[in-house]
Amino acid sequence: MSKYRICPDCGFHNPPSRIECSQCEADLTSTPVVDENTSTKPADTSAPRAFVRVCGCGARNPAAMRKCAVCGEDISDIIPSEDVPESAPHFTLASLDGEYAYELTQPETDVGREQEMREYLSAKPYVSRTHARLTAENGRLYITNLSTTNFTYVNNLRISCRQELHDGDEIGLGGNSAEGTRQEGAAYFTVRICP
């Protein structure tokens, strides 16, 4: 008859000599040794829980790892925790005049006078019909200029390729700021990223 210690955290059946769970490294010192005939709580039929060690660099490593796979740091003293997927951040563009805010809900969004945000941008003649593409990818937000006449600016610098946006960045569609003055026919937004 087999004897084992059932991990109270992940339900793994460990040999009776183990004082630490082989699966998630939970403490088993106060867990009783049971056999097949011992009545225990019903088996959990849900998927087994995964455990990770989260390094200081942010990398999520399997619980059995002793060194971070990304930065090589010793993570043996980090207690494994249940691997809970991170929620995706929310991306919002808020107009500098405070009259308009647009929350991105799709992975890829084209903005312009005849695209998304048209209800606000249609009155901005320096904004092209299809002006820029916003891309949400792996929890990050990027912008790509699509206009060949009136360009896209991030923090007052004209962009020529896809650029990552950060919380607080200022986007200028069709104009930038010269000596503290913004162009009337352009549209200006602040990027807001909320976890």
Domain boundary among 35, 69, 85: 85
Q: Domain range holding 58?
A: 53-85
pLDDT in tens, 52-71: 888 887 788 888 888 988 88
Low-confidence ranges of the chain (pLDDT < 50): 40, 42-43, 45
* 108 in the same domain as 16: no
Average pLDDT of the chain? 87
Q: Concatenated DSSP letters for the chain?
A: --EEEE-TTT--EE-TT-SB-TTT--B-TTSPEEETTS--SPPP-SPPPPEEEE-TTS-EEETT-SB-TTT--B-TTSPPEE--PPPPPEEEEEETTSS-EEE--SSEEEESTTSBTHHHHTT-TTS-SS-EEEEEETTEEEEEE--SSS-EEETTEE-SS-EEE-TT-EEEES--EETTEE-TTSEEEEEEEE-
* 95 in the same domain as 190: yes
* 96 in the same domain as 80: no
* 22 in the same domain as 76: no
Under 8 Å between Cβ of 73 and 181: no
* 168 in the same domain as 122: yes
Task: Give Cα 83 distance to the centre of its chain.
Answer: 14
pLDDT in tens, 74-104: 998 988 888 766 667 899 999 998 899 999 9
| Whole-angstrom distance, CA of residue 52 vs CA of residue 63 | 4
* 167 in the same domain as 125: yes
* 121 in the same domain as 58: no
When divided into structural domains, the chain yields a total of: 3
| Whole-angstrom distance, CA of residue 99 vs CA of residue 112 | 17
* 63 in the same domain as 6: no
* 116 in the same domain as 186: yes
* 190 in the same domain as 99: yes
